[in-house]
Chains A and B, each alone.
Chain A
Amino acid sequence: MSILSGKTALVTGASRGIGRASALALAKAGAQVLVHYSSSEKEAEAVVAEIRRAGGRAEKVAVDLRAPNGPHALAKLVQGIVGSRLDILVANAGIAKAASIEDTTVEDFDALFAVNVRAPYFLVQQLLPVMCKGSSIVFVSSLAARASVEFTGKAVSTLSAYAATKGALDTLVTHFASALGGRGIRVNAVAPGVVETDMSSFAKTDVGRDLTLVIQALKRVAQPDDIGGVVAFLASDEARWITGDTVRVDGGSKL
């Protein structure tokens, strides 16, 4: 499959989990992939090496997206590598922190919104000059944006602040798709449920697994590849008539 050959792609948070799976899927489809990471250099190098071993093109780029000027710095780095054209942006980098309403601090709240919402927003803004007709932006939302996944009758939601950042992304999909449609730039999101990644401690506990599966039709915990394939599709011209959509890749959760 080489539906993305000749295309350039940036995947943020690509050293692990869904970002890694997305980077590998894009590279497999022929894209040159910039593997962004903030601190996991070894893992990012491993992703680059894996892509190159398979005959693909990849480079790693390090930027801390918690910093207010992080997106601007990353956009500069990216333009230095790909020049004047970025075809695909997968804004995947995100952080999660579980805390009850009472225990959520202003610092945690701000950090969540800085990485999960502010960074994608300004990354799009800063990369717009090199995105053009046919370019595709994919955000990574979450099932949590539309449903509390932890309710057991008395359990407390510990993901409210995180979930709010993902709800914000869904809203950005709507508005960016509308605003950028005239330039031929598509904007979509994938919304996974619980995926077996380093970030998701939830999936590793018995209670977490049970809660995940009880609300879900397919009754298995997702693997990162389940999401990566959909990201690669949305990034490609195969999806050229899809924009403004949040595609739920959650095994049929909360149907």
Chain B
Amino acid sequence: MKKPVVLITGALTGIGRATAIAFAKDGARLVVSGRRETEGKALEAELRRLDAEAAFIQADVRHEDEVRNLVDQTVARFGRIDAAVNNAGTEGLRGLVVDQTAESYAATFDTNVLGVLLSLKHELRVMTAQKSGSIVNISSTYGHQGAAGASVYVGSKHAVEGITKSAALEGAASGVRVNAVAPGPTDTGMLDRFTGNPQNKAALVSTVPLGRLGKPDEIARAIVFVASASASFMTGQVVSVDGGKAVG
């Protein structure tokens, strides 16, 4: 089989970056996307050192013209898109509901929800036409649980799960699968920003049955599986990859 073409948004750090590397090691051809060109070019070079055909394309998922360009450039470069990972996301600003504003809402929802919606829109445009494809959105344990002080982030990830199910229903007739992976607390820069200090981070670890933080590579492995043909009967699902956080 020809090497699959994989598009990853928010690919420059954390889980997105680990996912790019995991796909590269699996022999995929890759387009990695993000907002920062210097980091993007560095990742592109790193993936090529892994013998992967890889290209960085700059895009901010909050802007439809950039998302459209990202998808079109991917097709121009590789001819198709077999898998897409909509990973771009932000933790937003922590704060109580009573302190939220239209601006704080937009700062999170524009990336986490509108960004996923626009990405799906253009990926599905390509995949339904080619009659195949697998999309993995990135949710969070907070896509199905609440958290004090994180209502906007929690709401945005709940939205991702609902959109995932609806997109799965729409894509199925064309052989396109849409699922989500929901990481628990994962050792990334985002978690450091989200927890704010080591005490908060340690408190979070104590709620994970496997007793530690997840590693970006461990989330990546699940993403690669859900995207693969081995998961061909799964669609509209949210797979928790969280060390048991959701049930702990």
List residues of A whose CB falls within 8 A of some B CB: 173-175, 177-178, 180-182, 184, 186, 217-219, 222, 226-227, 229-230, 232-233, 238-245, 247-252, 255
Contacts and interface: CB of A to CB of B under 8 A. Distances in A.
B43 to A, nearest CB: 23
B247 A230 contact: no
B235 A252 contact: yes
A14 to B, nearest CB: 19
B239 A245 contact: yes
Interface size class of B (residues with CB under 8 A): 35 or more
Contacts of A173: 247
Given A219-B172, A229-B230, A178 B222 contact: no
A177 B247 contact: yes
Given A217-B172, A227-B233, A184 B225 contact: no
A228 B191 CA distance: 35
B95 interface: no
A244 B246 contact: yes
B215 interface: yes
A233 to B, nearest CB: 5
B94 to A, nearest CB: 25
Contacts of A248: 234, 237
Given A217-B168, A255-B236, A230 B209 contact: no
B121 interface: no
Ranked nearest first, the 3 interchain pairs of A and B with the lowest CB-CB distance are A181-B209, A244-B247, A217-B172
Nearest to A226: B233
B44 interface: no
B211 A239 contact: no
A229 B231 contact: yes
A241 B209 contact: no
22 contacts: A175-B247, A177-B244, A177-B247, A177-B248, A181-B208, A219-B173, A229-B230, A230-B230, A230-B231, A241-B184, A241-B210, A241-B215, A241-B222, A242-B242, A244-B246, A245-B246, A247-B237, A249-B231, A251-B233, A251-B234, A252-B165, A252-B168
B209 A177 contact: yes
A182 B247 CA distance: 13
Contacts of B133: none
A222 B233 CA distance: 7
B242 A241 contact: yes
Contact of B225 (A218, A233, A243, A251): A233
B218 to A, nearest CB: 4
Nearest to A229: B230
B233 A250 contact: yes
A247 B222 CA distance: 12
Interface in B184-217: 184, 208-211, 214-215
Contacts of B225: 233, 238-239
B168 A182 contact: no
B233 A255 contact: no
Query: B208, B211, B233 — which one has the most chain A CB atoms within 10 A of its CB?
Result: B233
Contact of A182 (B211, B231, B242): B211
A238 B228 CA distance: 13
A252 B241 contact: no
